[in-house]
């Protein structure tokens, strides 16, 4: 692609050319109507997202990690999604790691030129000693961030799996990767503001990748969050209700069982279902790789 102006995300959106003279209500309705197009853009990308999840599951099963790497909004979304995995699924922090151009300071502040720093991306990945077991997901709405492209090229040299996530039909700068996810979200309401539709689509896709990965690693029973960390009143209550629903225990007894299981919802369920102690429950779960349904489906 010769010019950034050819990118869909850089083109003017015909429905918003007069948005500066619209009423507040009409502006909001226009944004909402454009946002409704995001779902179809993501739906079309599902086959590529599926390929990505196969890589992420295999990476983690084999001792590898999943990296999100991006600049600006893309980087922030990667860090956001990765940071939610440990509390939601009691997963090690190294399962999903978010890397943003400019470092943690860039989470709150715009770091000028960070997306153009090729060497910084390589150094950032070197600090994690990435290897062939890892999966690297480079996020760039336009497909033009040199920081992301250099990270993908470096990861590919090390035989890691590489994913290129963009929100255009084609990237401004191409590079060879294992999978390219292309969610064509079209022109933005405010021209070029990819924090809007493109950013929303990116968040949806990252949700799909991380959530599906955790489900396939046994972190969910039915649709219940059985591996959540019960670290506050809300989550203790949720965990207690999950135990009660699966085991049939009354609320107070379920809460006591949670305490006896070191605040692990999953262990509490096994202890109650099989009338075993904590160590026995741990051993039983270990034998089924942590998949609760393999233990209790016939109980």
> What are the C-alpha distances in Å from 39 to residues 30, 56, 198, 217, 234?
16, 23, 11, 26, 31
- Choosing from 10, 34, 115, 188, which is the catalytic residue? 115
239 pLDDT exceeds 80? yes
What residues contact residue 234 under an 8 Å CB cut-off, 6+ apart?
A: none
**DSSP letter, residue 221:** B
- In this structure, what are the phi and psi dihedrals at residue 281, rounded to the nearest 5 degrees? -65, -40
170 pLDDT exceeds 90? no
Domain boundaries, the chain: 4-216, 233-296
Q: Please say if 272 is a catalytic residue.
A: no
pLDDT tens-digit series, residues 101-110: 988 888 888 7
1 pLDDT exceeds 60? no
Q: Please say if 94 is a catalytic residue.
A: no
Fold designation for 4-216:
Rossmann fold (3.40.50)
> What are the C-alpha distances in Å from 40 to residues 78, 138, 215, 294?
22, 22, 23, 35
What residues contact residue 288 under an 8 Å CB cut-off, 6+ apart?
A: 218, 294, 295
pLDDT confidence of residue 58: 98
pLDDT confidence of residue 201: 97
Question: Bigger pLDDT: 171 or 39?
Answer: 39
pLDDT tens-digit series, residues 113-144: 766 677 789 999 999 999 999 999 999 988 88
Q: Which of helix, strand or coil describes residue 241?
A: helix
Question: How many Cα atoms occupy the beta-carbon half-sphere of 218 within 13 Å?
Answer: 15
pTM to 2 decimal places: 0.93
With CA atoms as reference, report the closest residue to 264 among 294, 299, 219: 219
- Choosing from 84, 94, 153, 280, which is the catalytic residue? 84
- Rounded distance between C-alpha atoms, residue 149 and residue 140, angstroms: 9
Highest mean pLDDT among 2-11, 76-85, 102-111: 76-85
Fold designation for 233-296:
Helicase, Ruva Protein; domain 3 (1.10.8)
**What b/e string do you get for 68-91 counting C-beta neighbours within 10 Å, with b at 16 or more?**
bbbbbbbbbbbbebbeebeebbbb
171 pLDDT exceeds 60? yes
- In this structure, what are the phi and psi dihedrals at residue 224, rounded to the nearest 5 degrees? -95, 140
| pLDDT, average across residues 170-182 | 91
pLDDT tens-digit series, residues 11-66: 899 999 999 999 999 999 999 999 999 999 999 999 999 999 999 999 999 999 99
Helices (H) then strands (E): counts for the chain: 12, 5
């Amino acid at each position: 692609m010769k010019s950034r102006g050819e990118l869909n995300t850089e083109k003017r959106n015909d429905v918003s050319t007069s948005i500066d003279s619209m009423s507040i209500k009409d502006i909001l309705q226009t944004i909402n109507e454009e946002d409704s197009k995001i779902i179809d853009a993501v739906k079309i990308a599902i086959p590529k997202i599926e390929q990505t999840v196969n890589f992420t599951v295999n990476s983690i099963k084999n001792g590898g990690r999943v990296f999100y790497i991006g600049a600006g909004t893309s980087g922030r979304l990667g860090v956001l999604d990765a940071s939610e995995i440990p509390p939601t699924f009691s997963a090690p922090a190294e399962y999903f790691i978010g890397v943003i151009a400019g470092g943690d300071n860039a989470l709150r502040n715009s770091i000028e030129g960070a997306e153009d720093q090729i060497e910084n991306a390589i150094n950032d990945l070197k600090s994690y000693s990435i290897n062939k077991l890892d999966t690297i997901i480079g996020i760039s709405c336009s497909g033009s961030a040199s920081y992301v492209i250099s990270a993908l090229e470096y990861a590919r040299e090390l035989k890691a799996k590489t994913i290129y996530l963009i929100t255009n039909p084609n990237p401004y700068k191409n590079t060879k990767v294992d999978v390219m996810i292309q969610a064509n979200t079209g022109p933005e309401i405010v021209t070029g503001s990819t924090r809007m539709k493109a950013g929303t689509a990116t968040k949806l896709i990252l949700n799909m990748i991380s959530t599906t990965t955790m489900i396939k690693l046994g972190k969910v029973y039915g649709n219940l969050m059985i591996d959540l960390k019960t670290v506050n009143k809300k989550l203790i209550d949720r965990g207690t209700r999950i135990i009660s629903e699966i085991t049939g225990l009354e609320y107070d007894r379920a809460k006591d069982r949670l305490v006896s299981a070191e605040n692990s919802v999953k262990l509490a369920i096994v202890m109650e279902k099989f009338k075993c102690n904590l160590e026995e429950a741990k051993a039983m779960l270990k034998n089924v790789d942590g998949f609760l349904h393999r233990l209790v489906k016939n109980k």
